[in-house]
Amino acid sequence: MSASVKSLLSTLTSRGPHRVLRGNLAIAGQPGVVYTPESGRDLPAVAFGHGWLNRAGNYSTLLEHLASWGIVAAAPDTERGPLASHLNLATDLLTTLDICTGVRLGDGTVTVHPTRLALAGHGMGAGAAVLAAAQRRVAAVAPLFPAPTSPPAESVAPEIDTPALILAGVSDIDSLNSNAVPLAAAWSGPAILRTLEGAGPNGLTEGRRLLAALGGGKHEPKTARATRALLTGYLLHTLLGDKTYAAFSDPETSIRHTHVIDPASALHDQEETRRAAATPDPATVGKLVRTLRK
């Protein structure tokens, strides 16, 4: 990792230069929250989808962090139950973007540029963000630790030529709860699949969560900090074209404690592993037959 990237990563881990205002999307008819810089015109914006059994409030630090760097960050607070509709959440993400571009935010002086938009999400919300991106062109998509959805996000990924940053945990990427590899492999546009060392699928979320009480993983401060920095740098480059942060959308960039994965190779390895697991071991079968004959 070059000294400049290391320095940028350290800087982006910290809060940005802007004072942040918090607003209620429900005023515009959509339950949810919006964080904005105190002032600014033609700003970039991202609509963020929460994970399964989570709520928008579980990502307040991430959303506020993005706003402190000049990015309007809004999250619908719907589909919070165990039978959440992924398509409905995708629709709510698009509605959230409509509100961001159609309404003056903050104290009435904050506006969003209609072409500087991104969709992002965590877990289930990552898949919903992809489903939304298949319905409307945006400037960037960021599925963070994506989980399977219905319909599968990877089924619409070939239709999306938008740049994407896909994050996953090193040890989680091959689990049944992650579809990061098939999603990246199916993506039509330029996509970076980057894994984080020591990151669990639920480490990004904050506060009290039902999943944590059920043993579904606790908040991981290190994972949250790294994700905030990587996402912020990526959006500053892809939405604003700020070349200072170009390294964050370059798959050749080496970043400490992360690894860029070739999705085609990883998908092949996963398929080989599944085939091997499905093929009976001859020695084991022979032993079982001999046992049954006794």
What's the pLDDT tens digit per position in 215-251? 566 899 999 999 999 999 999 999 999 999 999 999 9
Overall number of domains in the chain: 1
- Residue 63 forms part of a structural domain: yes
Residue 214, number of CB atoms within 10 A of its CB: 9
Domain that holds residue 58: 3-261
The pLDDT tens digits of the residues spanning 84-133 come to 999 999 999 999 999 999 999 999 999 999 999 999 999 999 999 999 99
Q: How far is CA 159 from CA 136, 153, 164, 174, 186, in A?
A: 11, 11, 13, 24, 9
- Residue 136 forms part of a structural domain: yes
Rounded distance, CA 146 to CA 248, Å?
Answer: 19
The pLDDT tens digits of the residues spanning 178-189 come to 999 999 999 999
Tokens 């105190």 belong to 38
- Residue 287 forms part of a structural domain: no
- Residue 219 forms part of a structural domain: yes
- Residue 220 forms part of a structural domain: yes
- Residue 12 forms part of a structural domain: yes
pTM (two decimals): 0.90
CATH number of the domain to which 151 belongs: 3.40.50.1820
- Residue 276 forms part of a structural domain: no
